[in-house]
Amino acid sequence: MTAQLIDGNALSRTLRAEVATRAAALKARGVVPGLAVVLVGENPASQVYVRNKVKACEDNGLHSVLEKYPAELSEADLLARVEALNKDPAIHGILVQLPLPAHIDAQKVIEAIAPPKDVDGFHVASAGALMTGMPGFWPCTPYGCMKMLESIGYELRGRHAVVIGRSNIVGKPMALMLLAKNATVTICHSATRDLGAITRQADVVVAAVGKRNVLTADMVKPGAVVIDVGMNRNDEGKLCGDVDFAGVREVAGWITPVPGGVGPMTITMLLVNTIESAERAAEAT
């Protein structure tokens, strides 16, 4: 059996069109949804990500402000900028692109963002809201993975979901989202013994490690859903995920490709969070 693909580009187009409709409705009420993207330094990958985020806003009726600062910007000056954006009524979402230069405490900057504008979902208040089921913003990448599962009508209740990776921005929030849908969740990580013995029990595997071939065909139960969050380069310099796609697609029931899978969904969910924030702000006035 060859797995069916979950197409992140196609799903993104649908969800972004919904964002554009919601943006138009807000504009008709005199509210222009706005995202501020803050980039410090000249990390080439960050520059590409930031450009894509700003373009996605423009393409879908959101206003975006890109603030670029030199790598020497002081932590105090960055905190002051975040504070100004917190107070700016034209801004509904604030995203400080990571990584930040080493002299800046990234967690301190994230905690300075007002939680109602934390569209990245990285603030401890957002993490706490996800953990307790309170309203807040969910981190975009795992939220995008949940939308992909939803798009195939997958019923998570009672299923065994295995998450490989325990980062604060993907692995841990992913596990909480799956748990909230009543899956039985296992989190695996670098100290896990016999990863394959665990993944072979999984109905759903989410691979979020950042290393090629973490999941191979022999580690997958026939028919399982495989979500690949990885973004790596192979020996030829081509983009690839954490999953051995060619092998695993012959065993899995569903699989997300790289590129064209989770990647576009991350930006899509940033737009969704930003429009949601703008709608909440509009309701509150």
Q: How far is the CB of 119 from ligand GUN (least distance, A)?
A: 9
Quote the DSSP letter at residue 218.
G
The dihedral through the CA atoms of 218, 221, 223, 226 has a sign that is negative
In this structure, what is the dihedral angle of CA atoms 100, 109, 119, 45, given to the nearest 10 degrees?
0
Could you confirm whether 120 is annotated as catalytic?
yes
Query: Which x/- pattern, by CB under 6 A, does the window 199-238 give for ligand GUN?
Result: ----------------------------------------
Q: How far is the CB of 102 from ligand GUN (least distance, A)?
A: 15
From the list 53, 117, 147, 221, the catalytic residue is 53
Q: How far is the CB of 74 from ligand GUN (least distance, A)?
A: 19
Touching ligand GUN, residues 101-130 (CB under 6 A): 120
Instruction: Please say which residue, 122 or 254, places its beta carbon nearer to ligand GUN.
Output: 122
Could you confirm whether 27 is annotated as catalytic?
no
The span from the CA of 163 to the CA of 226, in Å, is 10
Could you confirm whether 107 is annotated as catalytic?
no
Instruction: Please say which residue, 64 or 97, places its beta carbon nearer to ligand GUN.
Output: 97
Stretch that binds ligand GUN, among 78-86, 91-99, 124-132, 151-159 (CB under 6 A): 91-99
From the list 117, 118, 120, 221, the catalytic residue is 120
Residue nearest to ligand GUN (CB): 98
Q: For residue 217, give the H/E element and its range.
A: none
Touching ligand GUN, residues 264-283 (CB under 6 A): 266
Q: How far is the CB of 120 from ligand GUN (least distance, A)?
A: 5
In this structure, what is the dihedral angle of CA atoms 178, 179, 181, 183, given to the nearest 10 degrees?
80
If binding means CB under 6 A, how many residues of this protein chain bind ligand GUN? 8
| φ, ψ (nearest 5 deg) of residue 209 | -110, -40
Our finding on whether 64 is near ligand GUN (CB under 6 A) is no
Q: Which residues are the active-site residues? A: 53, 97, 120
Residues making contact with ligand GUN (CB under 6 A): 49, 95-98, 120, 140, 266
